[in-house]
Each structure stands twice: as C-alpha cells, then as structure tokens.
Structure 1
Amino acid sequence: MRTLNLGILAHVDAGKTSLTERLLYAAGVIDELGSVDDGSARTDSLALERRRGITIKSAVVSFVVDTVAVNLIDTPGHPDFIAEVERVLGVLDGAVLVVSAVEGVQAQTRVLMRVLRRLGIPTLVFVNKVDRPGAQDEDLLRSISERLTTGVIAMGSVAGLGTRDARCTPYGEADPGFSARLLELLAENDDGLLDAYLEERPPAYPRLRAELAAQTRLGLVHPLYFGSAITGAGVPDLIGALTELLPAAEGRSDGPVSGTVFKIERGPDGERIAYARLFSGTVRVRDRLPIRHAEPTAEEGKVTAIEVFDQGEAAARSEAGAGLIVRIRGLDGVRVGDPIGTIAPPNPRARQFAPPTLETVVVPGERADRGALHLALSQLAEQDPLIALREDPVRREISVSLYGEVQKEVVQATLADDFGIEVTFRETTTICVERPRGSGSALEIIDTGANPFLGTVGLRVDPAPPGSGVEFRLGVELGAMPYTFFRAVEETVRETLNQGLHGWRVTDCLVTMTHSGYWPRQSHAHGTFDKSMSSTAGDFRNLTPLVLMAALTEAGTEVLEPVHRFRLEVPAYAYGAVLPVLGRLRAVPGEPVPMGDVYLIEGEIPAARVHDLEQRLPSLTSGEGVLESAFGHYAPVQGPAPTRPRTDHDPLNREEYLLRVLRRVRSDGSSH
C-alpha cells in the first residue's frame, strides 16, 4: 500500500479541522463528526484547543483511500503558532490549502501559499463554507488568482451557493469550457500542449488529465475544489484528487535509515515521544539510532517503542519503514528538527518563516517554585524551539520569545494545566537585532600581557549582506592547532553573538579567525597531566568572548527593529481618521486604492506598533476595518538605540568578566 503524508493548512477559522473530521468520517475512521465549536474534534486534543476552538499543536491522524494510506497532519491556522506549521512542511508529500468562501483570501492564506509554492510542495486548494451566507465562487476564484497564484483552476461548479443545500458538481470531459481552460493553463508549462493550443488542436481529455496530475505533483498548478466540511458537499471530489493528483511517499525501506523529527511530546511518565518522517530505511525496536544534531559528535538513542498511524489510531509496531510517519520512544536526547539515522534527510528545508519578534518576562505566582518553572519552560521550549528562553541570573528572571498575545495565553494555560504553576507576564517588548556598522579586529596572545588563558585568538568582524546570518571562517591553517580548539572558538563565537553591544542578537556578519596558538599537552616526570602548562578547549571558550567583543566594539553595531508589511481595508468615510493614526504609529502607508466604498492601504509599520493599531482600528472604523500584517524586514531604529540587559558574564567589561570566569574556573579545580 502506498503512503501519502498530507498537510492541511489554512488561516485560522477557515475550517481545516472541520475538513479533517469530514475526511475521517468519509473514510469510515469515525462514526460521528466531531465539532470544533463544542470541543469534540479528534485532532484538537489539548484542553485549551477545546476551550478556544483553535488548533495549537499539529496532530496526526490516518485513513485509507483506495490503495493509499493517508497520514494527515492538521496544523494551526493562527499566526502565533506558525512555528508548528514550519516544522510540518519538511515532512509533507502534498498539502491542501483551505480557503473560506466567506472570508476569502486572508493574511495567513497568502503567507502559507507563498511558502508552499517556494518549496514546490504539491498543493490542492479547497474552498470551504460554500453553504454559508455570503459565500463567493467566481469573485473568490479571481481573488485567489490575483493574490495567491495564477496557476489555479476550478475543478467544478457550485449550485445553491450560500445556502444549506449548496451542491458541488465536478467538471468532466463533457464540459468543453473546462477542457479549454485546462489546456490554456497546462500549456504554460508544456511546449507540446502550447503548440496544440496555438494551433487550436485540443488534445484528448485523458491526455489533459494526465498532464494535470503531472504538473500538480511538480507544484506548478493547483486544482481548486469547492465544498463544505460541515455538509460534506464537494468532499468526495477532493478525496478522489488526493490519490489521483498528489504524489505518494518515496524511499527505499532497505536503504540506510534517514528521517526528520518534527514534533516532540511528553508521555504520562515524562518520557520523550518523537514524531518523525522516515525518508529511507527501516527502524526497529531496540535499534541504536544516531541523532545528528551535534555533528561531528553524534548522539545515539535506543529505540524502545515504535508506533505508526493506522485508521486514526497510533498502533504499536516492531518496525517501520520508509515513507511513514512514526512515533518513537527512547530517543532521550532528540530535539525538534533533528535528523535521525545514518544519513541526512534529502533536501532539508531551511526556515521559511520569520523568527518571533516579541519577548516577555514570565513572572511566577507567589507560591510558584522558580526551579519548577524553569523545568516546565524548558520542556515547552523543547517542544517548540522558537520559544527561546533567556535567563537573567542577576534579576532571577526568565524571558520567552513569542509570535503574539495568543501564544502568551497558551503558555500561561499550559503551565497551569500541565504543571500546576500559575504565572503572569510583564509587558510584551519587541526583539531587535544588531548588525556590524564596519570592520573591527582584536587579538589576545598566549602568555602575553593580561591574557590569563593558555591560548592565542585573533578575530576580525566584517559586515555581511542582510539575511545572511553569521558566517565563521578560518584565516589560519586548520592544522595549526587541534581541531577541538577551532571548534570551541567557532561554537563560542556563535554563542557570544547572541548578545551584542546593546544586548541583542548580532546577525549578518562574517567572523574570521586571524590568529591561533596553543601550548601542547605537558606532563610531569611521573606522567600526570599538568593543566598549568597545557592548553584546553576551555581556554579558548573563555578567551574568545573577550576577543570577539573587542573586535565588535571596534566595528560598531546598528540596532534594527522588526517591521511588518500591512494591508488595511477601511471604509472611505474613515480614511481621514485613520491616516493620522498611522502617522503617529510610525507607519509608512502607500497610495490608497479605492475599491467601491472602501479604501485599500498597503505599507509598512514597526512590529511594536501593530498591536496598538489592532486595538484602535475598531473604534476608528465602526468595526468595519480589516487589518492584515506579517513580518517584512528589519530596519534601523529611529532615535536612541534600545538595549537589553545582558545575561552572560559581560565580556564588554573585562575586569568583571575575568573576575567571574576565573572564579568559576577555580571552583572547577582547573586553575593554572
């Protein structure tokens, strides 16, 4: 039996969880439809998901269509949980993008389709809610073509649009208009069909249908189906398209093991459960499975249990092969995003969405145990790596990074429900970044001057193109000293750059190691190791922050804040009231575009001001304003540069740094 790993993606409230329920019902996996509104949806298992009626964590269910086993992954639609969606993208064979026939193309819809097309993931479009008043068909189809992709074609029509009796009829060979539209679309990617189109020689319908499947599997075109997840209208046509138009999983079960972990859960006894897609090979219980997050020092875990998804349930198996989504127990050191197996997964997909741009301090309740809070937050960060924790040992505070206010509520509820810890939060602040203004260099030489460490480190910092991140290069020969010392320098450089001159993460820079030196291992006559005469990796880890920050100080840095792109629809009568508010919020709007009695305004606004605009818009527009926003880029901060308190030993203050580090070194019994 073939396998299809399918993602369901949508803007929040478009109906993707309801569609998941309908697919399971149609396949005979469940006997009764669950409801998002009353909290009985099968994939919304968290208490908060049931209370809020939204998906927060991705969930996997399965069903069979003909000879294809479909592993369906329901993903969150709210932009605060975009990190969950990102992790799923790397394990999909295909996707269904759900669009509401009533609300139309929304902000998250555009973000998701842009990424799906960029990654070339074969995608079908399902226009849901055709039974609701206000549902659109032709107008929405034009909007999708203009705002999502021109490579879309409707695969059927709707009768009784906007009523409970809405019916969806698929197009077929007997519909000449459909064949003509199909030929016109497919000819854009096929020279043979283009010749037939220009010469008005329409090919046979089976030829068009076969080419539709081929181009859909390549992510070039996107068949669109109208329907209703609530009534079931149009769903049988979508189910048929899953097996006809989307590609099945590939990979050899007799090859080397290769997979990717996309989700981590904790079992009832606290054990880690890893959700992974297997691209090749076979994993068996009691196998020792390499975890490739720490190359070249790989880690291993012993597989103690394997579960696969079978007709809606997770079933225990002694082994699982290529193409499957599995749950594995026993990989204690595994993290989200880790490759597993003896070879790396094919075509690993880099991060597609912007990192969180907000941060808040978690304040424990009066009776909360700070140690228990730290452990709980660490487990949450383990399940969602983008909830980055920052600890301030001086203030005894823990900060978490977030996408939005709803995510803050989820963290608060999860800590209360799962860990029994009550917390509140400080005011949310914006996360800035730093970039080097120019170039700078610094050097510390072994056994010279005030250098107390047995190592020579020289570093140069140079600006790099925006979006390039941090690159480390060697300007000295690799054989000049042991590789572990070079690796210690590189790892420390990357760690140190998490806090720049103003306390923000430094990005878009090139760091070159210009000098190196060490003392080889020395021993006394009786053969014991003498630390006072021998360099260790610790010397380089302790020295590198001083050298790097001295070089960065010479280069100087610029603080940049996140800026969102926005799309704002306001009634024409409210435009005059909205415009000055945009100015006060430091937004830069473009020329307004009149659309009947509504103005469309697009532009940019600092991320820190988006929440203010959201709060003020209803009163300015009598509730008729519609705002969409998404991360656009980083831009230099206007005015004084904001700072963030440091949480390290502060290598910018040499005296204080050495006092703290050397005290720690001596307490470890390794002073020299």
Structure 2
Amino acid sequence: MKHIVTGIIANVDAGKTTLSEALLYQTGNLRNLGRVDNGNTFLDTDQLEKKRGITIFSHQANLEYNDLSLTILDTPGHVDFVTQTEQVLSVLDYAILVISATDGITSHTRSLWNLLKHYHVPVFLFVNKIDINTNMASQILSQLKSELDESIIDFSSDNMLEDIAMCDESLFEDYLQTSTISDEKILSLISDRVIFPCYFGSALKLDGIDEFLQGFNHWTQEPHYPDNFQAKIFKISHNDKGERLTWLRILGGSLKPREEILPEQKISQIRVYNGEKFSTYPTVNAGQVCTIPGLVNTYPGLSIGENQIDTIPTITPVLSYALDLNGNDIQTCLKALHELEDEDPKLHVTWSEHLKEISVQIMGEIQLEILEQILLDRYNLNVTFTKGNILYKETITNSIEGVGHFEPLRHYSEVHLLLESGKRGSGLQFENQCSLEVLDKNWQHQIISNLKAKEHLGVLTGSPLTDVKITLLGGKASNVHTVGGDFRQACSRAVRQGLMMLKENNDCQLLEPWYRFRLKVDRTQIGRAINDIQRMHGTLDEQQVDGVLTGIAPVSEMYDYATNVRSYTHGNGTLELEIVGYYPCHNSIDIISHQKYDPVSDLENTPQSVFCAHGAGYTVDWKDVPATMHCEYFWNGMN
C-alpha cells in the first residue's frame, strides 16, 4: 500500500478542517460528519479550539482509500499561528492548499504559497465552498493562475492534458504528435512542482470529495527512502498527563522501542495518533509519522541521522510583550512559559534581571489572547501582557575583518572573521575558509560551532544581527594554554569588534518589520486611505485595482490601523496584513537615540579583547585591537 503524508493548509475560514472531516467521513474513517461551528470535529480536539472555532495546533489523522494509506496533518489557518504551520512543512510529501471560493486569494494565502515553494512541497489545490459561487470556478482558476502560478491546472477539465502540455515547451511538442501524456510524466511534473492539480467542490456538502480522493490517490507517488535510520522532528507537545511528546516523521530505516536515537535516550514507547487517540506500535517504518513520549532536548526542525540538516524556520514574530503578573509568582509563570516555549520556540521567552520582567515574542493579538487563555486553563495562571514593542534587527552594508583575542593568564585564543552583507532574509550564514596550516581542524570546528550557538547582537540597539555572512579566516591557538571555552570568548569579541569598526564608518543598519497590506475601501474613501498610508511611511504598488490599495508599510506604524479602517468605513472596509520581512527602519535615528544602547557596556557581548603581559591579563579597546593582535590580517580587502 502506498503511504503518503500530506498537510492541509489554508487561510482561516477557508474550510480546511471541514475538508479534513469530509475526507475522513467519505473514506469510512468517521461515522458522523462533524462541524467546526458545532465544536465536534475529529481533529480540533483541544477545548480552546472548540471554543474559538479555529485550529490552533497541528493534529494528525489517518485514513485508507483503495491502495492509499494517507496521514493527514491538519494545520492552523490563522496568520498568528503560521509558525505552527511552518513546522509541519518539512515532513510533507504533498500539501493540500484549500482556497475559499467566497474569499479568493488572501495575503495569507500568498504567504502560504511562498512557504510551500521555500520547502519545495508539491501542492494540490482544493477550491472550497464552490456551491455558494457555482459559476465562479473559471474566474477563480484564472485568479489562481495570475496571482499564484500559471501552471495551476484544472484536473477535472476536458482540456487537462492540453493545459499540462502548455506548461513545458518540449512536452507540448510531443503532445502535438501523440495527443497524450503518460501518467509517469504527469506524476513527475507534480512532484517536481512544475504543475499543480486543482479541484473544486464543497467540503461541507461532500461535493467533489470523491473526485478529489480519486485524483489525489492516482496522482501521488511514494518517495524512496534510504535504509539507514533518519527522522525529522516537527512538533513538541504536552498532554493532560504532563507527558512531553516528540512528534517525528521517519525518513529512512525503521524505529523500535528501546532503541537509542539520541545520546543516552532510549525509546520507551512508539505511538501513532489518530485525532486525540493513539495506538502503540512495535515498529514504525520509513514514511510513517509517530510520537515518542519522554524525550528531552528535542525541538521542531531537529534532524536525526547521517547527513541530515536541521530545518531553520523562516517566520519570526515581530512584536514583544511584557508579562503582567497580576499577583502570581514570577518563577511559576516563568516555568509555565518555558514549557510553552518548548512547544513553540518562537515565543522566545526572556527574563530581564535588570527590569525584573518576563517578555515573549508574538505574531499578533489573537495569539496573545490564546496564550493568556492557555496559561489560565493549563496552569491556573490569570495573567495579562502589556502592549507590545517592535522587534528590530540589525545588519551591515559593508565588509570587514573582525578580530577577537582572549588571553587572560593561562588562556589563549585569537580569531579572525570576515563579516559580509548577506541577501535580505538570509539570516546568519557561516563559512570556513581557514587553512589547516593556520589552525587545527578541532579548533576550527569549535569556532564554527560557537558562532552558530550564539545569538549575535548588533551594536546600534543591541537587536539581533541578521542577513550577515560570517567566514572564519584564521586565528591562533596555544599548545599549552588554549582550552575550548577560549575560542567561544574570542569568537564573540571578533564579531563585535568588526561591527564596531563598521559602525564607526556608518556601515551598520537598523531594520524593522514591514507589512504587505491589502486595503479595500469605498471609492469615496480612497483619498483618505492614501493619505494615511503616506503618513505611515508606506509605499503603494505601482498598479492598483479600483477600490483596493496594496503595498508595504512599517509594522510599527500600521499594526493597529485596522481599528481606524473599521471606524472611517463604518465597518465596510477590510485590511489584510502579512509580514513581508525586514527592511531599513524608517525612523532609525529616533529609535537608536531612544534605545540608548552602549555596546561597550554590554559585558556579555563586549567588543573588547584581553591580552596578557608580565603575567597578568589586561583589556584592549576594540579600536586598538588591530595594532595589538598577534596574527596579520587574512583578508585582502583590509587596508
């Protein structure tokens, strides 16, 4: 039997969970068809999900249809929980993207499409609620082609083969001669994301479900797996018994209880969930999704096995909120939040000893409301959060060789790093160009590991550094005095010293998050809307649709603008917002001045180096390190 893992993905209210319910019911895996508005769907098992009527956490269901064994991972639809959706994408064979015929393509739909492209996930589309707009199928298909991809094909159309052939020039020539395309070729085109099958129906009324199941069964193929054990972790959760559950997909080999897949951690039990219930398995094989209780130090994106690379998420929160204890014990709150951070690392829970304050990072107001409710329901903590601050980042606009030296008595290390500006959205990248004649391989490995393990901060406001490539050029160790921790110190100082040199030349840049917006108002209110966008330092797209304004604007200016839109349009206007990334800060001078960050006083991230003379260590200012360092510059771009 063919085993496929798929994720059902959609904008909120598109009918994603309803489609999951319909697939399970139509294949005989459910006796009764549940409804989201009745709070009795098979997959929304959490009480908070039933109360809210939205999916908050990813859930698993399993079904069989003809020769297809299908694992469904239902994902959250609301934009505030997109980090939960992204966790799932790295373990999918195919995705099912649900489009609402009534809402069409939203900004969140476009973001999901881009995420699927980033993870190279083949996509089937299901246009839902077509019963409400029975004559709109061709119009919606045209919109899908123009706004998502021209190679989205109606697989229920009589012209399906011709439309497929039009997506590839060489294929079209063959089709003209033979008037056919082999199933093997179509399967390959789908799995390679050259074409995207599209189906239409109504999940609530079970219209089009049989056709979709037949198509999905026929046009999917099981991947080939290696013999050696490999796995990808995509979710961490805690059940009502307090068990910590690690969710993973087996990508090679097999897994049995009592085996050790992580250092000194043996598998006590293997579970396969179906909704809120599970069965224990003596063995799980490549392709299957399973859950293991009791593991520690696992996290979403962790890869297990040879030549496997951890998945680095692309979505990051842009707002920071401080916890208002409301009389609760601070340590109890911190413990609860760290457990929730274990499930969603993007919460990034931090404790400021100086401010005596706990803060979290959040995608939006709905996520914040859910977080407060979870803390109350699960931990009996009635807390609130104060209004959020914008999460800034920093980058560089030029290249520099930074030097860090750490030589207190009986310690020694020196590191030379090349800092270069990276592509927007690339995060931090690390490379090693150090010769073995300069530094031993083990020291090089320690340096790269230390660079990757630390959150590097900029020197303008102390915000996280991003879009920078850091390359190890060289350094020096002592056969007698160097120990592992020395290079950790030297690495950090080298990065900071380089940043301070760039700052002196005005080559450091403050970044802020920006929204892509879609604002729909009455024609008579367009002038007011344009003035608002300009006042918020937004930029309008060159081409605009009548009554609809699109463009980008800073989150700091626009994140509470929806209230104004509802007011001046009397509830008739709509504003869609989606984080588009980090761009240069529109008021960086004001922000830097307000933050009053002193990089030299940040002792945990100091740019200063430590040298030794006459049996004692002494501190050297970052400006004077180039004249004091023991190695010459390695980079020929230096003066």
**TM class, shorter-chain normalised?**
0.7 to 0.9
Structure 1 window deviating more from structure 2 (235-244 vs 326-335): it is 326-335
Task: Choose which of 487, 500, 509 in structure 1 pairs with 2:468.
Answer: 509
Task: Give deviations 1:485-530, integer Å, cap 9, x for gaps.
Answer: 5455444445555322111011233445566344445xxxxxxxxx
Secondary structure class of the residue paired with 1:506: coil
**Residue 577 (1) aligns with residue 577 (2):** no
Question: What amino acid maps onto 1:408 in structure 2?
Answer: L
Task: Give deviations 1:5-32, integer Å, cap 9, x for gaps.
Answer: 1111110000010111111111222211
**Residue 469 (1) aligns with residue 427 (2):** yes
Task: Specify the alignment match of 2:208 in structure 1.
Answer: 234
1:542 offset after TM fit, Å? 3.7
Contact kept, 8 Å, 1:186 with 1:212, in 2: the verdict is no
Judged with a 3 Å threshold, the aligned counterparts in structure 2 of structure 1 residues 3 and 217 are, in CA distance, closer, same or farther, namely same
Judged with a 3 Å threshold, the aligned counterparts in structure 2 of structure 1 residues 577 and 94 are, in CA distance, closer, same or farther, namely same
Task: Give deviations 1:205-243, integer Å, cap 9, x for gaps.
Answer: xx5666544433332222222211111111111111121
Task: Specify the alignment match of 2:485 in structure 1.
Answer: 538
Task: Specify the alignment match of 1:526 in structure 2.
Answer: none
Contact kept, 8 Å, 1:94 with 1:123, in 2: the verdict is yes
Structure 1 window deviating more from structure 2 (224-233 vs 269-278): it is 269-278
Contact kept, 8 Å, 1:9 with 1:74, in 2: the verdict is yes
1:427 offset after TM fit, Å? 1.3
Contact kept, 8 Å, 1:272 with 1:329, in 2: the verdict is yes
Task: Give deviations 1:529-574, integer Å, cap 9, x for gaps.
Answer: xxxxx43223333454344323321111221112222222222111
**Residue 319 (1) aligns with residue 291 (2):** no
Task: Give deviations 1:453-492, integer Å, cap 9, x for gaps.
Answer: 7123243453322334334455654465665554554444
CA distance in 1 between partners of 2:487 and 2:189 (Å): 54
Secondary structure class of the residue paired with 1:374: helix
1:429 offset after TM fit, Å? 1.5
CA distance in 1 between partners of 2:297 and 2:509 (Å): 37
**Residue 561 (1) aligns with residue 512 (2):** yes
Judged with a 3 Å threshold, the aligned counterparts in structure 2 of structure 1 residues 655 and 370 are, in CA distance, closer, same or farther, namely farther
Q: How does 1:254-265 map to 2 (within 5 A)?
A: 255-265=227-237
**Residue 413 (1) aligns with residue 373 (2):** yes
Judged with a 3 Å threshold, the aligned counterparts in structure 2 of structure 1 residues 154 and 371 are, in CA distance, closer, same or farther, namely same
Q: How does 1:309-388 map to 2 (within 5 A)?
A: 309=273, 313-340=277-304, 342-345=305-308, 351=313, 353-366=314-327, 368-388=328-348
Contact kept, 8 Å, 2:566 with 2:573, in 1: the verdict is yes
1:442 offset after TM fit, Å? 5.5
Task: Choose which of 253, 274, 284 in structure 1 pairs with 2:246.
Answer: 274
**Residue 303 (1) aligns with residue 267 (2):** yes
Question: What amino acid maps onto 1:636 in structure 2?
Answer: P
Secondary structure class of the residue paired with 1:54: coil
Contact kept, 8 Å, 2:167 with 2:194, in 1: the verdict is no
**Residue 75 (1) aligns with residue 75 (2):** yes
CA distance in 1 between partners of 2:276 and 2:375 (Å): 29
Judged with a 3 Å threshold, the aligned counterparts in structure 2 of structure 1 residues 189 and 373 are, in CA distance, closer, same or farther, namely same
Give the share of equivalent positions with the same residue, in percent. 25
Question: What amino acid maps onto 1:509 in structure 2?
Answer: V
Task: Specify the alignment match of 1:600 in structure 2.
Answer: 548
Secondary structure class of the residue paired with 1:19: helix
Contact kept, 8 Å, 1:87 with 1:262, in 2: the verdict is yes
Contact kept, 8 Å, 2:101 with 2:133, in 1: the verdict is no
Question: What amino acid maps onto 1:202 in structure 2?
Answer: S
Task: Specify the alignment match of 2:144 in structure 1.
Answer: 144
Contact kept, 8 Å, 2:303 with 2:311, in 1: the verdict is no
1:615 offset after TM fit, Å? 1.7
Task: Specify the alignment match of 1:217 in structure 2.
Answer: 191
Contact kept, 8 Å, 1:361 with 1:426, in 2: the verdict is yes
**Residue 642 (1) aligns with residue 591 (2):** yes
Judged with a 3 Å threshold, the aligned counterparts in structure 2 of structure 1 residues 478 and 128 are, in CA distance, closer, same or farther, namely same
TM-score normalised according to structure 1 size: 0.82
1:654 offset after TM fit, Å? 6.1
CA distance in 2 between partners of 1:492 and 1:641 (Å): 34
Task: Specify the alignment match of 1:402 in structure 2.
Answer: 362
Task: Specify the alignment match of 1:665 in structure 2.
Answer: none
CA distance in 1 between partners of 2:244 and 2:284 (Å): 19
Judged with a 3 Å threshold, the aligned counterparts in structure 2 of structure 1 residues 243 and 196 are, in CA distance, closer, same or farther, namely closer
Task: Choose which of 563, 567, 587 in structure 2 pairs with 1:619.
Answer: 567
Secondary structure class of the residue paired with 1:183: helix
CA distance in 1 between partners of 2:541 and 2:453 (Å): 40
1:322 offset after TM fit, Å? 0.7
CA distance in 2 between partners of 1:440 and 1:59 (Å): 47
Contact kept, 8 Å, 2:231 with 2:252, in 1: the verdict is yes
Q: How does 1:3-402 map to 2 (within 5 A)?
A: 3-132=3-132, 136-156=136-156, 178-179=158-159, 181-189=160-168, 191-197=170-176, 202-203=179-180, 207=181, 211-251=185-225, 255-290=227-262, 299-309=263-273, 313-340=277-304, 342-345=305-308, 351=313, 353-366=314-327, 368-402=328-362
1:313 offset after TM fit, Å? 4.7
Question: What amino acid maps onto 1:549 in structure 2?
Answer: R
1:633 offset after TM fit, Å? 3.5
Task: Give deviations 1:49-81, integer Å, cap 9, x for gaps.
Answer: 111111111100001001211100101111111
Secondary structure class of the residue paired with 1:318: coil
TM-score normalised according to structure 2 size: 0.86
Contact kept, 8 Å, 1:453 with 1:543, in 2: the verdict is no
Judged with a 3 Å threshold, the aligned counterparts in structure 2 of structure 1 residues 446 and 387 are, in CA distance, closer, same or farther, namely closer
CA distance in 1 between partners of 2:72 and 2:47 (Å): 21
Judged with a 3 Å threshold, the aligned counterparts in structure 2 of structure 1 residues 17 and 42 are, in CA distance, closer, same or farther, namely same
Q: Which runs of 5+ in 1 are unaligned?
A: 157-170, 172-177, 291-298, 522-533, 657-661, 663-672
Q: Which runs of 5+ in 2 are unaligned?
A: 611-616, 618-639
Q: CA RMSD in A?
A: 3.0
CA distance in 1 between partners of 2:444 and 2:486 (Å): 11
1:374 offset after TM fit, Å? 1.8
Judged with a 3 Å threshold, the aligned counterparts in structure 2 of structure 1 residues 648 and 339 are, in CA distance, closer, same or farther, namely farther
Question: What amino acid maps onto 1:507 in structure 2?
Answer: T
Question: What amino acid maps onto 1:586 in structure 2?
Answer: H
Contact kept, 8 Å, 2:165 with 2:175, in 1: the verdict is no
Task: Give deviations 1:438-463, integer Å, cap 9, x for gaps.
Answer: 4455556565xxx5671232434533
Judged with a 3 Å threshold, the aligned counterparts in structure 2 of structure 1 residues 452 and 53 are, in CA distance, closer, same or farther, namely farther
CA distance in 2 between partners of 1:583 and 1:495 (Å): 41
1:256 offset after TM fit, Å? 0.9
Contact kept, 8 Å, 1:96 with 1:123, in 2: the verdict is yes
CA distance in 2 between partners of 1:71 and 1:551 (Å): 49
Task: Specify the alignment match of 1:456 in structure 2.
Answer: 413
Contact kept, 8 Å, 1:439 with 1:462, in 2: the verdict is yes
Question: What amino acid maps onto 2:378 in structure 1?
Answer: D
Judged with a 3 Å threshold, the aligned counterparts in structure 2 of structure 1 residues 223 and 394 are, in CA distance, closer, same or farther, namely same
Judged with a 3 Å threshold, the aligned counterparts in structure 2 of structure 1 residues 140 and 544 are, in CA distance, closer, same or farther, namely closer
Question: What amino acid maps onto 1:617 in structure 2?
Answer: V
CA distance in 2 between partners of 1:99 and 1:613 (Å): 26
Contact kept, 8 Å, 1:130 with 1:227, in 2: the verdict is yes
Secondary structure class of the residue paired with 1:305: coil
Contact kept, 8 Å, 2:60 with 2:274, in 1: the verdict is no
